[in-house]
Chain A
């Protein structure tokens, strides 16, 4: 006695031809080219960290130039004031923005720690308010929310706050 055949026996899948390998290579290429990835480097990720780096780098520039000029007989305070007065904030930020990759956080930290820069006591965190005086808490919160920044990822960098 013949066993009754399953209904699926009468429905056979047809062979499907797929495009050749070149099609898939071109597809991958197209997807990658048309959808560039925005990669946030951990150390420089959010602008909030960049801002603190920029401020620290501005210090570094000030310190280095101050050291070079300190051999002159002009009093240090005057040189510092004149030097900083000669460079506006936009120029400093532009420079730092362009050269941010040249500095590591460690390098900046090292200079700040080893130099008596005389202007701010970095251990006193309230002095750091200076850097962010132009940015409201709401703006910072809004930026963090918009960029989906997970503050836990930047725990180390944000310890200064």
Chain B
């Protein structure tokens, strides 16, 4: 967590006149990242906006409980992840979610993948990600989907680049194995 973020948290928690501005800055900084994370789970733009709003309400209300020694992005990521899954469960029970966002492109040439549609493949990929421990899932999402540099992820997660590289490597192996198993290698 940067010192700037620490000041934002102080201002938000104190609820004084600077709270709104600090919250706005926090939203500007992490909103797009969380938006992408959420849409990759709920796969629907309108639902994503609803979930994102719920996430920021939770952040706004519960930031005073955030322990400074842990990582702010990881904390927000967890809220967004839980909120997305909860919304997805709720919506699937209610009416089912209409997928309106293409989240992957399939490159032709793989005999096991080609017969499947992109939605099916993405669903498998999603299931694979859900099997990962949180830190590996975060690194995988930020590296694989968003192609961030390790140095950027290191700043966000307050982890060394070496540890991130190792985590990504392990995550990728686990996901590959999961997919291969599901595709009956």
Contacts and interface: CB of A to CB of B under 8 A. Distances in A.
A6 interface: yes
User: Size range of the interface on A?
Assistant: 20 to 34
B110 A7 contact: yes
B176 A28 contact: no
A37 B104 CA distance: 40
Interface string B28-51: 100110011001100000000100
Interface stretch (A8-16, A46-54, A112-120): A8-16
Main secondary structure of the interface of B (DSSP, over half): helix
Interface in A30-79: 30-32, 34-35, 37-39
Contacts of A28: 20, 23-24, 26-28, 31, 56
Interface of B: 14-16, 19-20, 23-24, 26-28, 31-32, 35-36, 39-40, 49, 52-53, 56-57, 60-61, 101-110, 112-113, 121, 125, 144-147, 172, 175-176, 179-180, 183
Given A7-B110, A28-B20, A16 B172 contact: no
Nearest to B24: A28
A10 B176 CA distance: 11
A31 to B, nearest CB: 5
18 contacts: A6-B176, A8-B172, A10-B108, A11-B106, A14-B102, A16-B103, A18-B35, A24-B31, A24-B32, A27-B31, A28-B20, A29-B20, A29-B24, A31-B56, A32-B60, A35-B57, A38-B15, A39-B16
Nearest to A25: B24
Given A8-B176, A31-B57, 5 more contacts: A5-B110, A24-B27, A24-B32, A32-B20, A39-B16
B109 A11 contact: no
A21 interface: yes
Interface of A: 5-14, 16, 18-19, 21, 23-25, 27-32, 34-35, 37-39
A9 B179 CA distance: 12
Contacts of A31: 23, 27, 53, 56-57, 60
A12 B104 contact: yes
Contacts of B16: 39
Given A7-B113, A7-B180, A16 B107 contact: no
Which residue among B20, B31, B102, B107 has the maximum number of chain A CB atoms within 10 Å of its CB? B31
Contacts of B175: 8
Given A24-B32, A31-B56, A14 B107 contact: no
A10 B40 CA distance: 18
Nearest to A21: B28
A16 B27 contact: no
A36 to B, nearest CB: 8
Given A16-B39, A28-B23, A37-B19, A11 B107 contact: yes
Closest 5 CB pairs of A and B: A37-B15, A24-B31, A28-B27, A39-B15, A10-B110
A29 to B, nearest CB: 7
Contact of B107 (A9, A30, A37): A9
